[in-house]
Amino acid sequence: MKLVIKKELLLDGLNKVSHAISSKNLIPVLAGIKFDLKKNKLTLTASDNDITIETVIESKEKDDFKVEEEGSIIISGKYILEIVRKIPDKFINIDVVDDLKIMIYTENSEYDLNGISENEYPSINLEESKKKIEINSKVFRESINETAFATSTEETKPILTGINFKITGNTLEFNSTDSYRLARKIITLDKASDDSYNIVVPSHNLLEFTRIMDEDDKAFVELHIFNSKILFKYKNTLFQSRLISGTYPNTSNLLPDSYYMVISANLNELYSVIDRASILTSDKDKNTVTLETSGNTLIVKSNSVEIGRVEEKMGITKNIEDDIKISFSAKYMMDALKAFSTDTVEINYVGEIKPIILKSKEKENLTELVLPIRTY
């Protein structure tokens, strides 16, 4: 293998695949990135057994890169990334000599690294499915960010550490829950799917995938779903993740058909009021606050015997004259509010011991649910 490549192009590719390099990996070859050079295409692959990322760097402009000899080799991911990041030159030469000795050089810098033969790399099937599902990449990225935070981090309930994708016809539903709260986003596909799917993808892997997406809001993500894995295709990059096996709980029965009271509030103000009301709660994991209405005033309170008490007020509108009172985790409510990023939000109240449902007229396809906490 022998090539000259524009530094920025190589760095961009290395940054993408390095999301699949784990420093904790016990298999030495997986600490490496596979370079595969053929004609005017350099394919980089990295995998940590849980996810695999492959990206193709193609020459678009005349001087992007020059292939002098095709070939393949595995290079240490950590070192090649740091070298390419720190080299000040515009172009980088990479030569493989004596089979496994890698020379990376520019005019004033030379790095000799020990490589690993490509034969030692595990064979990973990144084949695409014939039945792909296409989603606008911006909508996809937003949907993951609106739901991922509500997944569980406890490995004792593996199924809840993933986001549930439910596809039927032209509807794709994202569900997440850690059994104290729930997030649901429903999007409409441009092209209906022939098959129905009900799969669970590790939340952590989906977040890694969104991090390799750029700001382009006209691009598409393709979903290729298999029995135990899912392959995402985004531009020149493939991202494959395992699926979590098991049956995802049916959460639809938690969402009521009608509400006793609908409170409309400015989202930023409500967020800040709950944030301030939770300052004095002693235990950060159980930072319970109480919300009550008094006419068109919303009052959020908390108190701790040792530290003291808080009372915060703000103006709201509501659909009925009655007043209500309900307690919940400030952290969970704030996480849910943050997911909307809209100007206003509606708090839908069913009863003091019933789930609180958050909706926004500005984002009708998103539903967030927070369970109340009994305080007596």
Among 124, 192, 307, 353, binds a copy of itself (CB under 8 A): 307
**Which of 123/305 has CB closer to a copy of itself?**
305
Among 255, 279, 320, 353, binds a copy of itself (CB under 8 A): 279
**Which of 59/106 has CB closer to a copy of itself?**
106
Among 4, 29, 56, 113, binds a copy of itself (CB under 8 A): 113
Q: Is 110 in the site for a copy of itself (CB under 8 A)?
A: yes
Least distance CB 143 / a copy of itself (angstroms): 31
Least distance CB 331 / a copy of itself (angstroms): 15
**Which of 229/301 has CB closer to a copy of itself?**
301
CA distance 282 to 266: 27
Pick from 101, 184, 206: nearest CA to 366: 184
Contact 177, 163 (CB under 8 A): no
Least distance CB 223 / a copy of itself (angstroms): 38
- DSSP H or E run through 140: helix 137-147
Least distance CB 10 / a copy of itself (angstroms): 16
Q: Which two tokens stand for residue 348?
A: 């839908």
Q: Is 25 in the site for a copy of itself (CB under 8 A)?
A: no
Q: Is 29 in the site for a copy of itself (CB under 8 A)?
A: no
Task: Candidates 34-42, 192-200, 270-278, 353-361: pick the segment binding a copy of itself (CB under 8 A).
Answer: 270-278
Q: Is 111 in the site for a copy of itself (CB under 8 A)?
A: yes
CA distance 52 to 345: 39
CA distance 350 to 282: 29
CA 149 to chain centre: 9
Task: Candidates 42-50, 75-83, 283-291, 352-360: pick the segment binding a copy of itself (CB under 8 A).
Answer: 75-83
Amino acid found at 160: L
Contact 99, 117 (CB under 8 A): yes
Which string of DSSP letters, residue by residue, matches 255-290? S-SS-SEEEEEEHHHHHHHHHHHTTT-S-GGG-EEE
Among 8, 90, 109, 195, binds a copy of itself (CB under 8 A): 109
Amino acid found at 139: V
CA distance 215 to 175: 24
Q: Is 114 in the site for a copy of itself (CB under 8 A)?
A: yes
Task: Candidates 32-40, 104-112, 123-131, 354-362: pick the segment binding a copy of itself (CB under 8 A).
Answer: 104-112
Q: Which two tokens stand for residue 371?
A: 């369970």
Q: Which two tokens stand for residue 90?
A: 């515009």
CA distance 349 to 217: 35
Among 89, 308, 362, 375, binds a copy of itself (CB under 8 A): 308
Contacting residues toward a copy of itself, per CB under 8 A: 76, 79, 82-83, 86-88, 102, 108-114, 272, 275-276, 279-280, 306-314
